[in-house]
Structure 1
């Protein structure tokens, strides 16, 4: 594993950790203060959407798991499989962030926060695989 892949792994780990936090807020603390500070609104206004937030949290959690498994496989020396999993997970995170801002550009700041770590992970992983 080269330097680019190590840098990519750090960014991928941080992106996955952030998605674990997001999944937690969406699944278990949707009406709580951290989720309301992050996503806006009041507990009362969030309540009708708790089911949808829970489902979205599952997706975020599964993306994080995909990246963590990919990192483990990568560090066990299986570069092709590990990097494929890391790229699939972080690229999906990046696409979700892009989808958010493309749907409504008032979410540009949230999109940047959600997508910057996955973007860096993808860039450095591709560089690590190509160079």
Structure 2
């Protein structure tokens, strides 16, 4: 068994695809519209779905906003240069909610950012954990 994908509901599919592909460097792997169900799915990731887990961005037509709730925490992404990754997010209109630095009670260097729908993403500096 393995994890295939994590699904996130998004309010503006094009904006979300641009954020994940351009700000985070993922690839748009596939996209399919379901007119009878009034939704579109887009899969993004750093590698092909056969090789790694990816994100499924689900856009329900006509819904432009969701409440995140209290159960979801964050998605973690390893980055080679945490400062550059945060700068790239800022350039794409994302929000850095915790600047890079060591985590409390440890040495792992982390930062937190938010995507356009306010989903939290933890950046973890490669080699620091």
Give TM-score scaled by structure 1 length.
Answer: 0.28
More strand by share: 2
* Larger helix percent: 1
Larger RCO of the pair (alpha carbons < 8 Å, separation 6+)? 1
So what's the TM-score if we normalise by structure 2? 0.28
